[in-house]
Amino acid sequence: MPVCAVLGGQWGDEGKGKIVDVLAEKAHLTARFSGGNNAGHTVKNPYGTFKLHLVPSGICWPDCMGVIGNGVVVDPGALLEEIDGLKELGIDLEGRLLVSDRCHLVMPYHVVLDELAEAARGDQALGTTGKGIGPAYTDKAARIGIRAADLFDLESLYPRLERVMSHHNAIIEKVYESTPVSLEYVIGRCEDWASRMRPLVGAVEHVVYDAIGSGKMVLLEGAQGMMLDLDHGTYPYVTSSHPTIGGASTGLGLLPRDFDSILGVFKAYSTRVGSGPFLTELFDDTGDLIRELAEEFGTTTGRPRRVGWFDSVVARYSSRVNGYTSLVLTRLDVLDSLDNIRICVAYELDGERVEDFPGSVAVLQKCKPIYEDFPGWDSPTAGVTEIENLPEGALRYVQRLEELAGVRIDVISTGPYRHETITVRQVV
């Protein structure tokens, strides 16, 4: 199974980092293909606890290389800081990390524009991570972006930066009535980054093609989740990239036929950070209990995550768009202390049963979840490593999720550490 994609099935934070760290034992390389440092992937293993934002999560395996594909937007300052932080924790990336020369860069003015646009939206704010991701992808689509390779040709970069920044600074000053970003400051940053980024930037696609060609395992690490996809998510409450399988293809230059397995990672319940529709959201004590038990606070921003029940309408839609070959269910252990667990099986809209996820946010806001109730289980699932040792109630819950999603659950995660994993069927 040379190419395996690990994708977020819901609204992000499903535990992709943990799963990639587990599967990377066999991988030649782990690759990011979309998003930027809006991602926060937590990896806990014998070397420590790592909060990764741009560096792929397989990197704790000493023979695993990390690559950042063309579809990712890279803030060089954030990347270099992350690399330094990892070195302090004992993970040396020297010669093991490659960033595509085609990656667009998140520049200081993107971060400023992100913050100003959010503030201007008032109570309509999207709740972005404030990392400049939307403005960086906007510039990419507008064909005024700066790419990693441009750092090594500073002479032709300067006049381009001057033009782009005069455009952005006009908006900052005239629309947002705020302080412009200094061109000298940005040029200074680019000069600093150029020398340190030089050994990190190269032709990622060749490294990936060579690995695939020689039958080595390539593990793709999704960021965000299906419901935050720019096209398929709950627009406009989405991120500005494609965390779905199509994004994996364009974000690394892979062919559709390259994918051998596509894993959809789902939490045993749901969470969402930031604004936007979330039909199964809990506003009661159970929601607070799950948030506290599971420490549901954003890895990147520290914001409390919104918590709700598992939504199988979302799971079916997510499976349809991504063509999952298996599902990975994480955080089952978080439900251990609950007496009653609910699954949303469909929605109700004006008295009609809706099985398919609506395209319009306005329609979605009128839908109500239809639930099935499950009694809790009497012994913990935390740390269980064999399917036979799951309590009967937990097994029934997992089987019902599988039935409703229409895809086999082949891996179940029962804790944040590598060994706290049940492999029902081998996925790589």
The binding site for ligand GDP (CB under 6 A) comprises: 8, 12-18, 40-42, 44, 299, 330-331, 333-334, 413-416
- Strand-strand pairing, 326-330 and 409-413: parallel
Asked if 273 interacts with ligand IMO (CB under 6 A), we say yes
Q: Is 361 exposed, middle or buried (0-12, 13-18, 19+ CB in 10 A)?
A: middle
CB 214, min distance to Mg ion, A: 32
Using CB distances below 5 to 8 A depending on partner kind, what does residue 128 bind out of Mg ion, ligand IMO, ligand GDP, none?
A: ligand IMO
Asked if 246 interacts with ligand IMO (CB under 6 A), we say no
Please select the residue that binds ligand IMO; options are 64, 86, 218, 223, rule is CB under 6 A.
223
The catalytic position among 21, 28, 41, 75 is 41
Using CB distances below 5 to 8 A depending on partner kind, what does residue 369 bind out of Mg ion, ligand GDP, ligand IMO, none?
A: none
Distances in whole angstroms, Cα of residue 85 to Cα of each of 31, 52, 78, 191, 425:
20, 10, 10, 21, 36
Q: Which is nearer to ligand IMO, 128 or 261 (CB)?
A: 128
Q: Which stretch binds ligand IMO (CB under 6 A): 126-134, 248-256, 358-366, 375-383?
A: 126-134
Asked if 274 interacts with ligand IMO (CB under 6 A), we say yes
How many residues interact with Mg ion (rule CB under 5 A)? Answer: 3
- Among left, alpha and beta (phi > 0; psi -120 to 50; other), residue 127 is left
CB 14, min distance to Mg ion, A: 8
Q: Is 75 tagged catalytic? A: no
Using CB distances below 5 to 8 A depending on partner kind, what does residue 129 bind out of ligand GDP, ligand IMO, Mg ion, none?
A: ligand IMO
Please select the residue that binds ligand IMO; options are 127, 277, 304, 376, rule is CB under 6 A.
127
Q: Is 419 tagged catalytic? A: no
Asked if 39 interacts with ligand IMO (CB under 6 A), we say yes
Asked if 314 interacts with ligand IMO (CB under 6 A), we say no
Please select the residue that binds ligand IMO; options are 57, 70, 129, 244, rule is CB under 6 A.
129
Asked if 13 interacts with Mg ion (CB under 5 A), we say yes
Q: Which is nearer to Mg ion, 18 or 110 (CB)?
A: 18
CB 24, min distance to ligand GDP, A: 13
Please select the residue that binds Mg ion; options are 45, 250, 275, 299, rule is CB under 5 A.
299
Asked if 21 interacts with Mg ion (CB under 5 A), we say no
Site residues (vs Mg ion, CB under 5 A): 13, 40, 299
Instruction: Tell me which residues are annotated as active site.
Output: 13, 41
Q: Give the footprint of ligand IMO on this chain (CB under 6 A).
A: 8, 11-13, 38-41, 126-129, 131, 133-134, 223-225, 228, 239-240, 273-274, 299
